[in-house]
Amino acid sequence: MTVPREFDRTRRIGEQLQRELAGLIREEVKDPRLGLVTVVDARVSRDLSHARIFVTLLSGDAEARRTSVEILNRSAGILRGVLGRRMRLRTVPKLRFEYDTSVEQGAELSALIDAAVASDRKLHR
């Protein structure tokens, strides 16, 4: 089975966006309210017009996460301009940042599994 070239290209562009943005956010976004951001994934639309950028934060509550995502979305135009100069693309996708909840969901599931295993051990003793 072969992967369609178009899909392969969007995946490669997403990976490149992820790498570039990881450094650009540190270099270009100077807002002190922005926490330590990790770019987890970048999903590019087929027509390359939009990109959803998924980020996580090292620490902070829900309000800090919301503030950081807002800061990133306000800085999207500047980041897009810098990306346009760095990447060799005819058009740079419009960026939309979103908080990635999968890490938190994984931790919650892990805690539930640990609790279930502990409960099961108590019953079988």
Task: Report residue 9's pLDDT band, with 50, 70 and 90 as the boundaries.
Answer: confident
Residue 67 lies in a domain: yes
Q: Are 46 and 75 in contact (CB under 8 A)?
A: no
Residue 104: predicted pLDDT: 73
Considering the chain, what percentage of its residues have pLDDT values greater than 90?
A: 47
Task: Report residue 105's pLDDT band, with 50, 70 and 90 as the boundaries.
Answer: confident
pLDDT in tens, 33-73: 988 899 999 999 999 999 999 999 887 788 888 999 999 99
**Number of separate domains in the chain:** 1
Residue 1: predicted pLDDT: 53
Q: The domain that contains 12 carries what CATH number? A: 3.30.300.20
Residue 112 lies in a domain: no
Residue 116 lies in a domain: no
How far apart are alpha carbons 36 and 26 in whole angstroms?
9
Residue 28, domain extent = 5-100
How far apart are alpha carbons 108 and 47 in whole angstroms?
36
Residue 125 lies in a domain: no
Residue 56 lies in a domain: yes
Residue 113 lies in a domain: no
Residue 6: predicted pLDDT: 58
For residue 93, give the nearest of 55, 44, 46 by alpha carbon. Answer: 44
Residue 111 lies in a domain: no
* pLDDT above 80 (res 80): yes
Residue 95 lies in a domain: yes
Question: Average pLDDT, whole number, for the chain?
Answer: 87
Task: Report residue 95's pLDDT band, with 50, 70 and 90 as the boundaries.
Answer: very high
